[in-house]
A and B are shown apart, each in its own frame.
Chain A
Amino acid sequence: MNVLTILVVMVGLSVAGYYLGTRQAVGVAGGQRSRLHSLPSYHGLYLASWVLLPAVALLIVWLIVEPHVAEQALIANLPASVEQMDPNTLRLTIGDIEARALGGIVGREVAPEFQPAAEAYAATLSISRWLMAACLVAVMAIGGLLAFRSIGVEMRARNRFERIAEVIMIGAATIAILTTVGIILSLLFETARFFAEVPFFEFLFGLQWSPQTALRADQVGSSGSFGAIPLFAGTLLITLIALCVAVPIGLFAAIYMSEYATPRIRGTAKPILEILAGVPTVVYGFFAALTVAPFFRGLGQSIGLDVSSESALAAGSVMGIMIIPFVSSLSDDVMNAVPQSLRDGAFALGATKSETIRQVILPAALPGIVGAVLLATSRAIGETMIVVMAAGLAANLTANPLEAVTTVTVQIVTLLVGDQEFDSAKTLAAFALGLVLFVVTLCLNIFALHIVRKYREKYD
C-alpha cells in the first residue's frame, strides 16, 4: 500500500470530518446557529483536525521507524557466511537488497544465499504497511469519534481550533529553526574533521592555497596546502571593489529618490531599481565574464595596462551593480523615515536643499545607511556565481584588481563539484571555508540589523 494513497485517503476522511462536524453542530443547535458558542465551521475544523493531525504524526513516526525494523529483519536472516565479509561490502550488499525490495535499480543480482534475507525484508515491509494503514484508520476513527462526541452548544470549538492552529504554526517555525541548527551542526562536525587533518592556524593564516591532495602515494606535485589567506584576501578585494561601485551609486540614487524625486517618479524608479536584485546571479555572471571582463581588458590594453581576462575588477564591479538595490532601497527607506519636521526646521533656518541633506538628513539617517551597506557587504561576501564565472580560480595573493583572484565561495564550489571522496582534507576544507563564511556573514548581519533597529527606535 503506498504512502500517497494513504495520504489521499487521510485528507479525504478529514474533509468528510469537516462536513460531518459542521452538520452535527447545526444539528445539536436544532438549526438555530445563534445558540452555538462557535460557528458550525469551527466545529467542522475542530473535528477535521482531530481526524488528520494525530494520524499525520503517527504516519511520520512510522515512516521513520519502519526501515530500521525491516533492516533488523533482514540482518537476522543473513546467511552465516557474512561473518567473513568485510563491513563495507556487507553494507553495500544490504543496500542492494533493500533497493531491490523497494523496486530500485540495482547494479548486481542478489546472490542466492541472500534470498531469505531479501524475502524477510520485503515481507516485513509489506506487513508493516498493512499494519500502518490499520493503525491510521484506528487513530483517525478514535480522534474523530472523540471530537464528534464533544460537539455541543456550549463547546468552545473556536478557541480550541485557534489553539490547534497556533500549535501548527509553532511547528512550522520549529522546522525552520531546526533546519538552520542542522546546517550549522553539519558544518561544525565536518569542520572538526578537517581540523583533525590540517592545523587550525595553518588554515587561518597560511599564505599558500593549493588543495590538490594525492589520491595515490605515487602522485607528484599534489602535496595539498590549505592556507586560506589568499582566499580571504581575494574575497575582501572583490567585496571592496563591489562596495566602491555600489555605495556611491546606491546612496546617490537613494538621495534622489527620497529627497528630489516626485512621488510618481519615486513610485516608478524604486521598483525598477529593485529589479536589479531580481536578476539571477548567473546572468550577472556571464555578463561579467563575457561583456565586462573583455571590456576592461580592452580598455587596459588601449592604455598599456595588462589586465587579465578574468579580473577582480570585472567581477567586483558587476557584483557592485548587483548590490546597488540593497544600498539604495534600504537607504531610501531610512531617509524617508527621517521626520519631515527636521527638514522643515532646516529649511526654516535658511538651509538649502543640499545643505539640509548633507547636514541634517544624512547624519540622522547614517546608522540606517551603515546598516544597509553592511547587509550589502554580507551579500557580496556570500555571492558565488559572479565570481565563479568572472574572477578566476588562481589563488593569487595580490591587491592588484587587474589580476585574477579567487574567493572563498569559488573555492567551495570547485572543491565540491564533480565526483569527490568525502573524507579527504580537500573536500573537508570546503566545510571549513563554509563555516568561516557563515560566521562572518552572520556577524555582519547581526551587527547591521542591530544598527538598523537601534535607529528605528529613535523616530517611530
Chain B
Amino acid sequence: MSAVELSPDAVGKNAPKIVARGVNVFYGSAQALKEVDLDVGEHEVTALIGPSGCGKSTFLRCLNRMNDVIEGCRVEGRIELDEDDIYDRQLDVVQLRARVGMVFQKPNPFPKSVYDNIAYGPRIHGVGQSKSEMDEIVETSLTRAGLWNEVKDRLQSPGTGLSGGQQQRLCIARAIAVNPEVILMDEPCSALDPIATARIEELIDELRQNFTIVIVTHSMQQAARVSQRTAFFHLGNLVEVGDTEQIFTNPRDERTEGYITGRFG
C-alpha cells in the first residue's frame, strides 16, 4: 500500500482498526463513492458527515458488507479490518458481521420478546449454550446499553412495544450482545426525540471504551459532541478528515467550511 499517497490527516493518532484504500462503489453504472482513503482508529468514535447522497452511508455499509444485499452494487478497492481484507473471497461474511455490528436509522427490533431480541445474535453464532450463560449475556448487553433497569421486569414482552428511544437502545444492546469489535451506526438518532437522542449520545461515549464506533449523522452538533474524528463527504468524495475539533473550528477545505457553517448541504 506504500504506493498510495496519503495526507497525514487520513491516518489518526490511535492505531487504525479499519483501513480503507481507494474505495469505489457503484450502484449499477452510477458511482457513489470515489477513491476514498480513510482510517478508523481503535476505541474512538469516527463521525461521517456530509449532505444527503454524499456517500457516507454507502461507505458505512461497505465496512460490514451490507452492500452485498443491494442488487447491482459493486465495491472496488481495499478495506482491511485488523489487516484482513474484508472483501477477500475466502472471508465469511457471517463472521465479519459478528465482528462489525450495525445499528440502523430506524429502530428495527424483531417482533420477538426483549430477551429473544438480545439472544438472537449469540444464538446464531452458537454463543451462550446454557440458559444461565444466555441470561448473563442478555443482562450485560442491556446494562451496557443502559436499558436494563427499564426492561428487567418485562424481558418477555415484545420488543416492538418499547418506546422509540428504548427500541434504539435495544438495537444497540442487540448489536453489543454478539460482542463485536466495531459498531457501525447509521444516523441512529434521526428518528428519536431530543431526550432519547441525548441518552444515545451518552451511551455512544461510554461504548467507546470497549468498541470502535463509526457513526453517520446529519447533525453537526451530534458529530461535534460524540466523535473524536470527523470525515466530511461530498458528492462521493472524501473531502476532509481530521480531529473533530479541527474540522469544526478550522476546516482546511472551503467545501467543509461551507457545509459546517450551513451555506450548503
By a beta-carbon cutoff of 8 Å, the part of chain A in contact with chain B is 262, 339, 341-352, 355, 359-360, 363-364, 458
Contact = CB atoms under 8 A, between A and B. Distances in A.
B81 interface: no
In the A-B complex, the 8 residue pairs with the smallest Cβ-Cβ separation, listed nearest first, are A348-B102, A350-B97, A341-B108, A349-B121, A350-B98, A345-B108, A350-B94, A364-B111
Contacts of A347: 66, 69, 97
Given A262-B71, A345-B171, A355-B124, A350 B95 contact: yes
Interface string B90-133: 00011111100110101011111000000011001100000000
Nearest to B92: A350
Nearest to B68: A347
B234 interface: no
A344 B94 contact: no
Contacts of A352: 94, 124
A359 B120 contact: yes
A348 B64 contact: yes
Nearest to A360: B110
B97 A344 contact: no
Interface residues of B, number: 27
Interface of B: 64, 66, 69, 71, 93-98, 101-102, 104, 106, 108-112, 120-121, 124-125, 171, 174-175, 178
A342 B110 contact: yes
6 contacts: A342-B111, A345-B110, A348-B64, A348-B102, A355-B124, A363-B110
Contacts of A350: 93-98, 121, 124-125, 178
Given A355-B124, A360-B110, A348 B71 contact: no
B125 to A, nearest CB: 6
B108 A344 contact: yes
A348 B67 CA distance: 11
Contacts of B178: 349-350
Given A342-B108, A349-B101, A350-B95, 15 more contacts: A339-B108, A344-B69, A344-B104, A344-B108, A345-B174, A346-B110, A347-B69, A348-B66, A348-B97, A348-B104, A349-B120, A350-B178, A359-B124, A363-B112, A364-B110
B71 A344 contact: no
B71 A349 contact: no
B44 to A, nearest CB: 21
Contacts of A349: 97-98, 101, 120-121, 124, 174-175, 178
Contacts of B112: 363
Nearest to B106: A341
B115 to A, nearest CB: 14
B94 A348 contact: no
A145 to B, nearest CB: 64
A349 B102 CA distance: 7
Nearest to B98: A350
Nearest to B177: A349
Nearest to A345: B108
